Amino acid sequence: MFYDTESNAHGMVHDPFKAIVAPRPIGWIGTKGRDGSRNLSPYSFFNAVGDRPKMIMFSSSGRKDSLRNAEETGVFTTSFASRTLLEKVSRSSAAVPYGTDEFALAGLTAVDGRLVAAPYVGEAVAVLECRVTLVTTLKDIDGMDTDSHVVFGQVVGVHIDESVIRDGRFDLALADPILRAGYMDYAGISPLIQLARPSAPGRG
Ligand SMILES: Cc1cc2nc3c(=O)[nH]c(=O)nc-3n(C[C@H](O)[C@H](O)[C@H](O)COP(=O)(O)O)c2cc1C
């Protein structure tokens, strides 16, 4: 089958787009408002986009609280979403009024960043502390502003729990991430497939 995205006539109950571009890592974004309120929400329009320096991004569909806080304070964190925390990841995505502390809502420990004034999930096995480098609104093919707003951040600090370091490596199987698939689905990573790049063996 084929459909054009202007008509979006896929004929299915749900739009398959997010199931095709999947699985996606989940950025569990921790921020603080200018008023000091804490915020925590999952974003699967999230990825690493550079490594020298380390850069990550998340995209807000509409102007959500994480975007507002990142803009207001210039910092955010992202906590690693492990399978053991799946239910809390989901709970922290609840649509609640601005200022609601989703750390408390999901029963998670909020820890203040070491280098940035933004909270992260104390239970997470890895955390990136980030400073905002760019916030931009995506444009469509007609040059019109969309309602997708992308926050780019430079990673300034990295936390890793000793429990997921094995043989001197961050062991992804131990960290056991949940990934966003389409619909209501999540995926895991096991078993990992190992394949060295032809030009750069041993490098990512
Ligand atoms: C696993 C998962 C991934 C999500 N990814 C996104 C995303 O990439 N962009 C987005 O705008 N909302 C996403 N959402 C929905 C937001 O988490 C939800 O709208 C949340 O209430 C936003 O919180 P905030 O306003 O505190 O930032 C996702 C939800 C879940 C459960």
pLDDT tens for each residue of 13-42: 999 999 999 999 999 999 999 999 999 999
Residue 11 lies in a domain: no
Residue 53 lies in a domain: yes
Residue 77 lies in a domain: yes
Q: Is 105 helix (H, G, I), strand (E, B) or coil?
A: helix
The H or E element that residue 150 is part of is strand 145-160
From 40, 44, 100, give the residue whose CB has the most ligand 1 atoms within 8 Å, as the site to mutate: 44
Does 204 have pLDDT greater than 80?
Answer: no
Q: Is 32 helix (H, G, I), strand (E, B) or coil?
A: strand
CATH classification at residue 97 = 2.30.110.10
**Contact residues of ligand 1, CB 6 A cut-off:** 26, 39, 41-45, 59-61, 64-66, 90, 93, 95, 180
What integer pLDDT is reported at residue 54 of this predicted model?
98
What integer pLDDT is reported at residue 59 of this predicted model?
98
Question: Is there a contact between 8 and 15 (Cβ–Cβ < 8 Å)?
Answer: yes
Confidence of residue 163 (pLDDT cuts 50, 70, 90): very high
**Looking at ligand 1, which atom is closest to the CA of residue 94?**
21
Does 57 have pLDDT greater than 70?
Answer: yes
Q: Number of folded domains in the chain?
A: 1
Residue 201 lies in a domain: no
Q: Token pair for residue 152?
A: 């780019």
Residue 192 lies in a domain: no
Residue 70 lies in a domain: yes
> How far is the C-alpha of 37 from the C-alpha of 68, rounded, in Å?
12
Q: Determine the distance separating the centroid of ligand 1 and the alpha carbon of 184, expressed in angstroms.
A: 13
Q: Which domain holds residue 76?
A: 17-187
Residue 57 lies in a domain: yes
> How far is the C-alpha of 105 from the C-alpha of 60, rounded, in Å?
21
> How far is the C-alpha of 202 from the C-alpha of 194, rounded, in Å?
10
Residue 68 lies in a domain: yes
